[in-house]
Amino acid sequence: MTVKPDWIAVDWGTSNLRAWAMAGASVLTTARSDEGMGRLNPEDFEPALLRLIGDWLGTGSVRIVACGMVGSRQGWAEAPYQTTPCHPHADAPIKPLVIDERLDVRLLRGVKQDKPADVMRGEETQIGGFLAAHPDFGGVLCLPGTHTKWVHVSAGEIVSFRTFMSGEIFALMATQSVLRHGIAAEGWDEDAFVGGLQDAVSKPEALAAQFFSLRAEGLLHGLSPVAARSRLSGLVIGAELAASKPYWLGQPVALIGAHRLCTANAAALKVQGLEAQIASGDAMTLAGLAAAHIQMTEDA
């Protein structure tokens, strides 16, 4: 089978490279590799892309719309940030220099906020995808992950946002700290999660002590590694919910991201009395790339 895409969508992060061969809004096929930005020097990006999608190219030029760390200072070419408040893709993308003239590459820009200083790169595309599907949405988007984003959206624009290192703190505590001896790699204990969540929501300032209690509870009271993992997750999310309350209180909230992370965060918000909708992170990335592609076509 020969694939003949009329454009190609690319999500190029620090660790992974994913591509979709597209016909309009339809996916013809997909491909992925582990040649993420973190492993590549600037001159390595074009060969890495050709290795992945070379078979999809014919003789003519194809537009390739890419988001993520590929557009960072350490990426293929820097796609400077837009500044809040802004539409997710208000400014034109950046075209890196290429040798193979069939590649018409467009690197989407990230978004920055001056005060409090904050940045996103990749999430703006998921937000663009969500807003393409819900153009009248006004409220708050939460994109849970290594660096969770809380984003205030109004009239199609990113008004303000705040990044929490919750996912990275969880991972470092679970795998690199003294707690690692008592934290399971898998498994879930809902009661332990909710207990940690409520303790952190009511005393978020005590997080560093609540962490150590996981070790002491294991030594003294036999806290199981699965319960410890779930409680650690509840503590981290609870502290984040306490701090992000000015964002979500009384607002419509949608979660965008990996299913497991979204359901954990939705459960946490539900304990706070809030029903959040959930949207798939992968689907929103592709929808955002498609929305950017349509906009470029209209702007051309």
Residue with smaller CB distance to its own copies, 208 or 300: 208
- Check binding of 155 to its own copies (CB under 8 A): no
- Check binding of 119 to its own copies (CB under 8 A): yes
CB 236 → its own copies: shortest distance, Å? 7
Q: What does each C-alpha distance from 221 to 90, 175, 218, 224, 290 come to in angstroms? A: 55, 22, 6, 9, 53
- Check binding of 219 to its own copies (CB under 8 A): yes
Closest alpha carbon to 8 in 59, 49, 69: 49
Beta strands, E only, the chain = 7-12, 17-23, 26-33, 62-67, 82-83, 103-107, 111-113, 118-120, 139-143, 148-154, 157-164, 253-257, 277-280
Give 173's contacts (C-beta < 8 A, 6+ positions apart).
Answer: 179, 183, 211, 232, 236
Residues in the chain: 300
The interface with its own copies within residues 57-96 (CB under 8 A) comprises: 73, 81
Residue count at the site for its own copies (CB under 8 A)?
44
Q: Are strands 103-107 and 17-23 parallel, antiparallel or unpaired?
A: unpaired
- Check binding of 169 to its own copies (CB under 8 A): yes
Question: How far apart, in whole angstroms, are the C-alpha atoms of residue 129 and residue 257?
Answer: 12
- Check binding of 16 to its own copies (CB under 8 A): no
- Check binding of 168 to its own copies (CB under 8 A): yes
The residue within the footprint of its own copies, chosen from 70, 211, 235, 262 (CB under 8 A), is: 211
Question: How far apart, in whole angstroms, are the C-alpha atoms of residue 93 and residue 35?
Answer: 22
- Check binding of 251 to its own copies (CB under 8 A): no
Q: What does each C-alpha distance from 219 to 191, 214, 216, 226 come to in angstroms? A: 20, 9, 5, 15
Which residues is 103 bridged to in the sheet? 62
- Check binding of 105 to its own copies (CB under 8 A): no
Question: How far apart, in whole angstroms, are the C-alpha atoms of residue 54 and residue 5?
Answer: 12
The residue within the footprint of its own copies, chosen from 99, 220, 275, 298 (CB under 8 A), is: 220
Residue with smaller CB distance to its own copies, 102 or 162: 162
- Check binding of 164 to its own copies (CB under 8 A): yes
CB 115 → its own copies: shortest distance, Å? 9
DSSP state of 206: G
The residue within the footprint of its own copies, chosen from 23, 25, 155, 216 (CB under 8 A), is: 216
- Check binding of 162 to its own copies (CB under 8 A): yes
- Check binding of 163 to its own copies (CB under 8 A): yes
Residue ranges that bind its own copies, judged by CB under 8 A:
73, 81, 112-114, 116-119, 146-147, 162-166, 168-169, 172-173, 176-178, 203-209, 211-213, 215-217, 219-221, 236, 239-240, 242-243
